[in-house]
Amino acid sequence: EAQVTQNPRYLITVTGKKLTVTCSQNMNHEYMSWYRQDPGLGLRQIYYSMNVEVTDKGDVPEGYKVSRKEKRNFPLILESPSPNQTSLYFCASSYGGDTQYFGPGTRLTVL
Partner 1 sequence: ELKVEQNPLFLSMQEGKNYTIYCNYSTTSDRLYWYRQDPGKSLESLFVLLSNGAVKQEGRLMASLDTKARLSTLHITAAVHDLSATYFCAVDVEGYGNNRLAFGKGNQVVVIP
Q: Binding residues for partner 1, per CB under 8 A?
A: 31-33, 35, 40-45, 48-50, 56, 58-59, 90, 92, 94, 96-105
Sign, CA torsion 104/5/76/68: negative
- Cβ at position 30, least distance to partner 1 in Å: 9
Minimum distance of partner 1 from residue 31's CB (angstroms): 4
3-class DSSP state for residue 75? coil
**Amino acid type, 25:** Q
d(CA 36, CA 46) in angstroms, rounded, equals 7
Strands 106-110 and 10-13: parallel
**String of DSSP letters for 2-39:** --EEEE-SEEEE-TT--EEEEEEESS--SEEEEEEEET
Output 63 or 105, the one with its CB closest to partner 1.
105
Q: Which is nearer to partner 1, 12 or 14 (CB)?
A: 12
Of 18 and 72, nearer to partner 1 (C-beta) is 72
- Output the smallest distance, CB 15 to partner 1, in A: 27
Of the two residues 92 and 108, which places its CB atom closer to partner 1 in the complex? Answer: 92
Smallest gap from residue 67 Cβ to partner 1 (A) = 16
